[in-house]
């Protein structure tokens, strides 16, 4: 399938180029806790330690607060559920529900989906212009992301009392048509439907360390069950427990970071999706999602594109993995488009269920994205089949919401 480099907005002024030495030095594993208090968010992101001799740095008042979101007035995050058009036709209702589908998570916040509404049906299409040819050459994560949007759409339909029927890959001649959702009629909406729906707006990816607070086994079981139910047969979310398996998974994350960030093509692709806090881009990763200041967010894409920070970042991610209350792997029995879509639905339901329980999640997918590491991961958690997503979960700070395209921008007629 032909792939195009995604069109991005121009990178910040190259004159703003920073030397790595101006930012700090690579950190060795260990001594992370002491360091964390002194690192800036950009240093944390890159796994760099502060320059020697610099006085211990206190978080500024601005950093102590959750980072500001730069969302415009038309952002789908601002949709008021009370504005649901009860008396309008089904097309208007479906269009309204799409405001919640587009709040789904997606790799690099690429939002690789398009929708078409016709009467009582809504089609979900893959938008391969948003592909990540280096990190995701088979469009596996792209498809998982679309599965998340599909599950968010279903969650919204149920909240507004609409019974749906979903067909995955309904037309083998059109592989980009991932799903067709038919509204069959009204249904009684339950308290459970409302809870899961409300979690759509509450959920975010939290990339900072979680609170050192254990998660009850019963909560984990509930999240696993939500993934299995939405994903269907063969989709499994399994916790990685025990010191040794957790340490091995954390080490795989570290090694995969080294492989990925050692690749210039990978870094260039990642940098294309990283944006300045006030870029106004409606997709991609604003620096504030990593807790970065304005200046740091300006420098970050240039730094990522230019320097191999794999070792420092790997050490940081290994530490994050080892100290997360829950480490889990989502997998599927088979490794094909339908399984990826179903894994996406399972992931979406797990994230919503976690949010209902007051938990937040973040991703450590690196060992799934590097094929030679995926083999090791598959051996480490054979009960999940083909690993698709690595999640860490816990009680974390509330992070800022990332931007989204409006429904009008992703709806085809």
Query: What one-character DSSP code corresponds to residue 286?
Result: E
Contact set for ligand FMN, span 325-364 (CB under 6 A): 363
Number of residues located near ligand FMN, criterion CB under 6 A: 16
Strand-pairing partners, residue 286, are: 275
User: Can residue 109 be called a binding residue for ligand FMN (CB under 6 A)?
Assistant: yes
User: Can residue 168 be called a binding residue for ligand FMN (CB under 6 A)?
Assistant: no
Could you tell me the two tokens for 368? 């799934």
Instruction: Work out which of 144, 181, 200, 271 binds ligand FMN, going by CB under 6 A.
Output: 144
| Residue matched to tokens 């091995």 | 248
236-246 burial by CB neighbour count: b if 16+ within 10 A, else e? bbbbbeeeeeb
Instruction: Work out which of 365, 370, 377, 387 binds ligand FMN, going by CB under 6 A.
Output: 365
Q: Which is nearer to ligand FMN, 124 or 162 (CB)?
A: 124
> At closest approach, how far in Å is the CB of 25 from ligand FMN?
24
> At closest approach, how far in Å is the CB of 211 from ligand FMN?
18
Q: Please report the sign of the dihedral spanned by the C-alpha atoms of residue 186, residue 187, residue 191, residue 197.
A: negative
Q: Which is nearer to ligand FMN, 145 or 293 (CB)?
A: 145
CB-closest chain residue to ligand FMN: 105
From the list 140-148, 190-198, 229-237, 302-310, the region that binds ligand FMN by CB under 6 A is 140-148
Could you tell me the two tokens for 138? 């088979």
From the list 59-67, 103-111, 209-217, 291-299, the region that binds ligand FMN by CB under 6 A is 103-111
**Contact assessment for residue 75 and residue 88, using Cβ atoms and an 8 Å cutoff:** no
- How are beta strands 411-412 and 326-332 bridged, if at all? unpaired
User: Can residue 204 be called a binding residue for ligand FMN (CB under 6 A)?
Assistant: yes
From the list 60-68, 105-113, 244-252, 259-267, the region that binds ligand FMN by CB under 6 A is 105-113
Instruction: Work out which of 38, 195, 205, 409 binds ligand FMN, going by CB under 6 A.
Output: 205
Q: Where are the alpha helices (DSSP H) in 332-400?
A: 337-356, 366-369, 371-380
Q: How many residues does the chain have?
A: 413
Q: Which is nearer to ligand FMN, 93 or 130 (CB)?
A: 130
Strand-pairing partners, residue 275, are: 286
**Contact assessment for residue 343 and residue 235, using Cβ atoms and an 8 Å cutoff:** yes
Instruction: Work out which of 95, 207, 319, 353 binds ligand FMN, going by CB under 6 A.
Output: 207
CA dist 124 and 343 (Å) reads: 16
Query: What one-character DSSP code corresponds to residue 342?
Result: H
Q: Which is nearer to ligand FMN, 142 or 219 (CB)?
A: 142
| Residue matched to tokens 């994050």 | 320
From the list 10-18, 53-61, 100-108, 313-321, the region that binds ligand FMN by CB under 6 A is 100-108
Query: What one-character DSSP code corresponds to residue 10?
Result: P
User: Can residue 148 be called a binding residue for ligand FMN (CB under 6 A)?
Assistant: yes
Q: Where are the alpha helices (DSSP H) in 55-137?
A: 61-64, 90-101
From the list 20-28, 107-115, 177-185, 218-226, the region that binds ligand FMN by CB under 6 A is 107-115
CA dist 77 and 165 (Å) reads: 26
From the list 66-74, 138-146, 163-171, 377-385, the region that binds ligand FMN by CB under 6 A is 138-146
Q: Which residues here bind ligand FMN, judged by CB under 6 A?
A: 105-109, 141, 144-145, 148, 204-205, 207, 285, 363, 365, 402
């Amino acid at each position: 399938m032909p792939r195009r480099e995604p069109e991005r907005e121009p990178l910040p002024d190259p004159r703003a180029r920073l030397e790595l030495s101006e930012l700090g030095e690579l950190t060795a594993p260990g001594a992370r806790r002491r360091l964390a208090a002194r690192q800036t968010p950009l240093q944390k992101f890159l796994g760099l330690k502060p320059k020697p001799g610099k006085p211990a740095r206190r978080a500024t008042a601005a950093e102590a607060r959750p980072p500001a979101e730069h969302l415009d007035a038309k952002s789908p995050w601002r949709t008021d559920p009370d504005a649901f058009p009860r008396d309008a036709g089904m097309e208007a209702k479906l269009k309204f529900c799409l405001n919640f589908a587009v709040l789904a998570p997606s790799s690099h916040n690429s939002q690789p989906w398009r929708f078409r509404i016709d009467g009582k049906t809504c089609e979900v299409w893959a938008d391969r212009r948003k592909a990540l040819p280096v990190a995701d050459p088979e469009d596996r994560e792209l498809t998982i992301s679309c599965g998340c949007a599909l599950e968010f759409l279903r969650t919204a339909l149920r909240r507004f009392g609409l019974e749906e029927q979903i067909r995955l890959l309904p037309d083998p001649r059109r592989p980009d048509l991932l799903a067709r959702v038919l509204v069959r009629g009204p249904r009684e909406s339950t308290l459970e439907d409302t809870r899961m729906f409300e979690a759509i707006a509450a959920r975010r990816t939290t990339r900072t360390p979680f609170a050192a607070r254990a998660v009850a086994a019963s909560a984990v079981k509930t999240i696993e069950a939500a993934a299995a139910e939405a994903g269907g047969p063969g989709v499994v979310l399994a916790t990685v427990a025990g010191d040794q398996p957790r340490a091995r998974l954390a080490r795989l994350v570290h090694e995969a970071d080294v492989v990925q960030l050692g690749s210039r093509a990978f870094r260039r692709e990642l940098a294309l999706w990283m944006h300045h806090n006030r870029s106004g881009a409606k997709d991609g990763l604003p620096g504030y999602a990593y807790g970065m200041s304005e200046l740091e967010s300006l420098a970050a894409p240039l730094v990522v594109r230019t320097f191999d920070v794999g070792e420092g970042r790997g050490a940081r991610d290994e530490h994050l993995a080892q100290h997360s209350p829950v480490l889990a792997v989502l997998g599927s029995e088979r490794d094909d488009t339908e399984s990826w879509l179903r894994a996406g639905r399972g992931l979406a339901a797990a994230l919503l269920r976690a949010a209902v329980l007051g938990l937040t999640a973040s991703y450590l997918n690196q060992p799934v994205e590097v094929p030679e590491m995926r083999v090791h991961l598959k051996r480490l958690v054979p009960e999940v089949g083909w690993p698709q997503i690595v999640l860490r979960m816990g009680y974390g700070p509330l992070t800022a919401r990332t931007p989204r395209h409006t429904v009008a921008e992703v709806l085809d007629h």
